[in-house]
Amino acid sequence: MADKPSAAELKEFGDAADAWFKENTVRDPGFMLPLTFMEVSTDQQFDFLRDWQRKVYEAGFLGASWPKEYGGGGMHSEFQRVATRAMKKYDAPIMLNAIGNGWAGPLILDLGSEEQKQTYIKGMLNAEDIWCQGFSEPEHGSDLGNAQLKAVRDGDEYVLNGSKIWTSLGDRAKYMILLARTDFEAENKYKGLSFFLNPMKIDGISTSRIKKLTGEYGFVQTFFTDARISADCLFGGEGNGWSMAMKTLEYERGAKVKPVGGYFVKELDVMQIVELAKNSMRNGKPLLDDPVMRDKMTQYMIDIQALNLNNTRRRMPQLMQDKPMGLPLMNKLARTELIRELTEFSLGFQGTKAGYYVGDENAVDDGYWHRSYLNSFSATIGGGTSEIQRNIVAEHALGLPKTR
């Protein structure tokens, strides 16, 4: 790993990133930009974001701290951090290839063979190869360990049968990280699972788009019908699927593999909510003169500020004593639930206008708040529901026994 950079080196890099994002960031391409990688609905949106990621990568502001020999920048992780900060500062669009860069990439860098690193890393950084994730199944959402998609070994190949669901970018992806059952007689459900780096554009794999509650698209259901993949696609060995899947979650914290940088989900700019509240009326007076709305908004400000500061506190071990896993594990639960509550709260500011939706000229902010509220459920349900998150915090941070 590269040496820790000096303040001057960091500043120089940060200034360059700043200048680049100032110059190159497009905030309004003339159509609605997705706030998360799960919301990429149209070709226009997809092409724009793929292009954007490639540009950022080529400028050296994505994957700056990933190894040079596989397409990264080979620099210290502090450089990537200042680049990401510049991205945020100019409110730049999201990085599209979330599953590739955030999940598959770190796993391959950590445990993959030399050949796998050579094959996959660069293409995910420049967004040439889009990745998707095949964990959830129609009958097994929260109970991931019970996944039933069948992978049967046949010579040098595996034959896949079954279905995966909630596959973001599934119809556009070249690869899928896939959790499949290779052993139906294993002593427990977890041990029967294996993990694959699965090619999507092959015979026997088809996708069907799912219309979301917002009215947009973004997810697909993926069907596997006697799809044949090379046995080389197996990752981590037969029977180790569950531990591989769990590992992909660990990388989010960036402890083992340096974070790729950027963001795949745009944080709601909560100050926008304050602006909306300030510009709203209730009974002929400013909304924030209403004592109930005022108190609620204040509580939300307390919540927002706490979660923002938690991101800093998480990097300070001295302030994390007692239950060190607590803060990292609770983050998803606390953040996604807060955003759901806040966006719901914002609808109440709008009075009669709360009745409008995206597409009507009378809608407040083009329906942004309604869309954000409805989309917020993708985060409170996806990636482990809030209820599952509470079990995780309870069991892994607080030491409570498992729920059976």
Q: Which residues bind another protein (CB under 8 A)?
A: 271, 274, 277-278, 288, 294-295, 297-299, 301-303, 305-307, 309-310, 312-313, 316, 318-319, 321-322, 326-327, 330, 333-334, 387, 390-391, 393-394, 397-404
Closest separation between CB of residue 390 and another protein, Å? 4
Q: How many CB atoms lie within 10 A of CB 263?
A: 17
Nearer to another protein, 25 or 310 (CB): 310
Nearer to another protein, 213 or 316 (CB): 316
Rounded Cα–Cα distance for residues 316 and 36 (Å): 28
Rounded Cα–Cα distance for residues 246 and 140 (Å): 16
User: Are 142 and 387 in contact, with CB atoms under 8 Å apart?
Assistant: yes
The residues, ordered by sequence, that sit 6+ positions from 44 with a Cβ below 8 Å of its Cβ are 31
Closest separation between CB of residue 71 and another protein, Å? 36
Rounded Cα–Cα distance for residues 129 and 40 (Å): 16
Closest separation between CB of residue 290 and another protein, Å? 11
User: Are 220 and 228 in contact, with CB atoms under 8 Å apart?
Assistant: no
Rounded Cα–Cα distance for residues 260 and 372 (Å): 26
Measured between alpha carbons, how far is residue 226 from residues 200, 310, 375 in Å?
13, 47, 34
Length of the chain: 404
The residues, ordered by sequence, that sit 6+ positions from 249 with a Cβ below 8 Å of its Cβ are none
Closest separation between CB of residue 267 and another protein, Å? 15
Nearer to another protein, 186 or 306 (CB): 306
Closest separation between CB of residue 285 and another protein, Å? 13
Nearer to another protein, 225 or 305 (CB): 305
C-alpha torsion sign, points 392, 393, 394, 396? positive
Nearer to another protein, 161 or 391 (CB): 391
Nearer to another protein, 78 or 171 (CB): 78
Closest separation between CB of residue 49 and another protein, Å? 30
- Which H/E stretch holds residue 299? helix 291-313
Radius of gyration over alpha carbons of the chain, in Å?
Answer: 22
Nearer to another protein, 210 or 307 (CB): 307
User: Are 234 and 158 in contact, with CB atoms under 8 Å apart?
Assistant: yes
Closest separation between CB of residue 95 and another protein, Å? 27
Nearer to another protein, 226 or 387 (CB): 387
CA-closest candidate to residue 125, choices 39, 61, 79: 61
Closest separation between CB of residue 76 and another protein, Å? 22
- Which H/E stretch holds residue 330? helix 326-347
CA 254 to chain centroid: 14
Closest separation between CB of residue 91 and another protein, Å? 17
CA-closest candidate to residue 315, choices 135, 77, 156: 77
Closest separation between CB of residue 217 and another protein, Å? 33
Nearer to another protein, 215 or 324 (CB): 324
Nearer to another protein, 88 or 228 (CB): 88
Measured between alpha carbons, how far is residue 225 from residues 13, 127, 348 in Å?
50, 28, 47
Q: Which amino acid is at 286?
A: P
User: Are 261 and 62 in contact, with CB atoms under 8 Å apart?
Assistant: yes
